[in-house]
Amino acid sequence: MATSATFWNSRDSARPGGTRSSSVPPIEPTANLEAASDMKNLADLTRTNPAAAAAVRALIKADHTIGAALAMMQTAMATAAPPKAQDRPSTPKRDHARRPGCSNSAPLSPSPLPNRKRVAPHENDAPRKKPTKGARATTPIIVGSEEEDDGLDIDYGARNHNSFEEHWPSNKICRLVKSLDFVDMWFFTPAGCRAAAKDRRDGTEQAMLLQADGTLKPAGPPQTLVKDWDLDAHDFRSAADKWLKVAMKMGVSTRMQNSIALLNNEICGHESWSTEPTPLILWHHHQRETWARDRFTPGCYALHALDPATYANIRLRGAVAASDAANTRSAIAEAAVATMRQQQQGSTSSRQANHQPQGDNFPALPACVAGQAAPTTFRAATAPPARTDRPFGWITTSTKEASNSSPRGNQHASSSTLGAASTGRGTAGGSTAAHGARAGTTATSSVDRPLTAARGALGPTQLRASGWSAALHKAGLAQRYPTIVAGIQQGFHVGLPCITSTFVPPNHKSATKDPATVRAKIDKELAAGRYIGPLSRPACEAAVGGPFQCSPISLAPKPPDGWRFIQDASFPRSDPSHQSINSQIRSDDWPCTYAGIATVIWQILHLPPSAQAAARDVRSAYRAIVLHPSQWPAAVVHWEGEFFIDTCLAFGMASSAGAWGIVGDALADVLRHAGIGPILKWVDDYLFFRVPRRELHSINTERVLLAARVQREHRGGVILWRDGDRELTEDFSTALLALSPEPDEWAYDFSSVDTVCAPLGVPWSAEKEQAFGPRITYYGVEFDIPGRIVSLPERKRAGLLLLLREWLTRATFRRDETESILGKLQFATHVVPNGRQYLTGLVTFLGLY
């Protein structure tokens, strides 16, 4: 049986020894672009002026060459005349640098008549000679005398047009405006101008700070500085007008004055200004700050060229922040109510609470978990409610040391402060669904149950919240993945339902036939701290806060010679009195990316034959996801009369792949933003590609073009980026970087990956790692990058042939055997596409029974 297929890249025809197949649609190679310089110019334009770059790409799609499209855009930008301010005389450029003795509350006014020459008041009308060195004027100036040589540029026909009691910013701020630097709007408010006037009077406008090493540095901004978004809307608007007035007096160019005026008008004249000014103020701040940073970039956008998408993003971010703030206020209120109720308890309960040893703020196992139903008392937490890592109310429980009657499990429970249950709001806790699910689907019904008993410790995880927080913020991904850090700290909400009555079905025969394997698995989980138990039924109900539901245990073969422990959360399948766990989970609410064989082939075709690939696997990825205590009632395991609470994500839950997949997507995106890639992933398997440094420019150019074309889609439980009929797994917004110190080496190696992943606590599996090379196995298939060949691994090929030979010798077959061999043959069609037509008979045969 043929078990390999060859695929080609059309760019190989430009390389010695390259081949091409007519059976595969040709892919336009980078070498066919008009010139490398045009590609670089387009990439630069994409970074500096996205709107112009989008227009260029539209011209390219209209069959213009890249060079011609760029030339047309440059011509259009050069001929576009800037708008002119109406009814405002042009201001002559003047030097308003600070001079000794100039301590007015406002800088000198220019001549009211534009472009008028100053005429010296001498009898012969001879032009006045400019002094070469300024001197302070200490006596009245007599025209025509030597005292006139004082360094002042005075127009005796001009008048003082400064308003009485007019406020004016400091000379330093005026110089920043003249140089078009970013300035906080507070400096133009009355409060900022009054502070500047005080500094001028006190002579502290140029204040310096003496450092510990004896050096001086300029003083920083005043402590009274108010950020733009904290200003009153009226004050901000007045400050914006003052900013324009300062620009006019400081001789800023007319086109920049117009741009400032247009920006102020767009923001302050927006239809939402009177009702929701804060997002608009943030938009104004963002536009000024980014323009000041980008203004020297060739082809920079105009200051007033606003992007509506930025405003939409700001509003979304504000809505999330407002929701979080509301949740925090609600939690504080609930904690206050709980405190009031506890203060009303009897004196006996109070005396018992006073004698309990005080614990720390880390969760611990409750008394019932240790096998003893000790009396439990509660008190309000003394920790301040402003702790951002614990947004819920907190209670404290104290128990006696448990006896050693329990044969396994934790034998001690100490006084501890435990997190109360969530109040049912979707934004609270660590719900992983926020990555792509619709609003309102992230909370589970089990979250609504109030905490009725002290709950135990979260399961252990190697993931580090601090490292993830730093990495996501550094990469600008905190908004895309808002729940990961909270999930690591408090446990993830994965959509497990509310349980209203305890249900304990029998385990499957695959498990009961091999009790030693099941017991070994349970003991392993207990030793790792991921199981709480063993518990009796009443103790388990007390631990999870009410009724619970078990999913039957089953064992499935795990190649090459192991067993996979599965909690069958789809049981029961047709019982009207009890719903299965999975029937109540919407797995589509946890969408993530999946890169299959077709995506790998596409990626290889878009890399040179010199590229290499490597693979890594996250060890026990699901078990690194700890569950929020509100999920525990639906995560109980039953074995031989004992109950165990599984505190981590289990294999068999409908949301497990997506719940881990969101964390997996975040890991891939963090690596991409570090310049590593291309990267593909399937659940916990990661495929890394790398190229020689010399290839980075052409590949990054192609990524720029892809970033402009791909469109994000959410289809069921999958997130993808579509490029025509291609389904890809990233947005190509990041560039590949040369991270290797050697100029002739590869762009990166696994040491670069480890540098990024070590602070995150990613548990890579060393035994499953495949080093970089020209051939790689991924998704059960071998890929030969230079040969452009995909094939089945030898072990899988030989096993399938043996199975077929055995099948052909038999006359009768069971349905499950038929389904198994059909699935294996369907997988083989990835490398033998023509084999699909031979499977129709087998499919028809299955349909008869």
Tokens of 59: 């011209």
Residue-wise pLDDT for 182-191, tens only, equals 999 999 998 8
Please report, in angstroms and rounded to a whole number, the separation of the first and last CA atoms in the chain: 29
CA distances from 760 to 487, 682, 764 (A): 14, 20, 11
Residue-wise pLDDT for 820-849, tens only, equals 899 999 999 999 988 888 888 888 877 766
Report which of 26, 31, 32 is spatially closest to residue 7, judged by C-alpha positions.
26
DSSP one-letter code for 278 = H
Residue-wise pLDDT for 538-571, tens only, equals 999 999 999 999 999 999 887 767 888 999 999 9
The string of DSSP codes covering 472-495 is: HHHTT-TTTSTTHHHHHHH-B---
Q: Are 593 and 730 in contact (CB under 8 A)?
A: yes
Reply yes or no on whether the pLDDT at 399 is more than 60: no
Angle, vertex CA 96, rays to CA 92 and CA 99, nearest 5: 150
- The confidence score (pLDDT) of residue 337 equals 55
pTM (predicted TM-score): 0.52
Reply yes or no on whether the pLDDT at 70 is more than 70: yes
Reply yes or no on whether the pLDDT at 18 is more than 80: no
Report which of 653, 646, 656, 504 is spatially closest to residue 578, judged by C-alpha positions.
504
- For residue 212, what pLDDT band results from cuts at 50, 70 and 90? low
Handedness of CA 488, 464, 731, 776 (dihedral sign): negative
- For residue 17, what pLDDT band results from cuts at 50, 70 and 90? very low
Write down the H helix ranges in 674-792: 696-709, 750-757
Reply yes or no on whether the pLDDT at 177 is more than 60: yes
Tell me: cis bond preceding 92? Omega within 30 of 0 counts: no
Q: Strand pairing partners for 553?
A: 567
Residue-wise pLDDT for 228-283, tens only, equals 988 888 889 889 988 998 999 899 998 999 889 899 988 988 888 878 899 999 99
Stretch 455-479: mean pLDDT = 87
Handedness of CA 49, 54, 59, 60 (dihedral sign): positive
Residue-wise pLDDT for 280-335, tens only, equals 999 999 999 999 999 998 989 999 999 988 988 888 777 776 666 666 655 665 66
From CA 688, how far away is CA 571, in angstroms rounded? 38
From CA 620, how far away is CA 609, in angstroms rounded? 34
CA distances from 441 to 431, 688, 846 (A): 10, 33, 38
Residue-wise pLDDT for 599-609, tens only, equals 999 999 999 99
- For residue 153, what pLDDT band results from cuts at 50, 70 and 90? confident
The distance of Cα 816 from the centroid of its chain, to the nearest Å, equals 43
From CA 727, how far away is CA 720, in angstroms rounded? 6
Burial class (CB in 10 A: 0-12, 13-18, 19+), 737: middle
From CA 391, how far away is CA 487, in angstroms rounded? 12
Reply yes or no on whether the pLDDT at 377 is more than 60: no
Stretch 408-416: mean pLDDT = 34
Q: Strand pairing partners for 789?
A: 6, 784
Handedness of CA 98, 101, 106, 107 (dihedral sign): negative
Q: Strand pairing partners for 682?
A: 685
Beta-carbon contacts of 458 under 8 Å, excluding residues fewer than 6 positions away, are 363, 490, 491, 626, 627, 629, 647
Stretch 587-607: mean pLDDT = 94
The string of DSSP codes covering 197-243 is: HHHHHHT-TT-EEE-TTS-EEE--S-TT---GGGS-HHHHHHHHHHH
Helix/strand/coil percentages in the chain, nearest 5: 40, 10, 45
State the CB neighbour count (10 A cutoff) for residue 363. Answer: 19
Most confident by average pLDDT, 141-155, 335-349, 734-748: 734-748
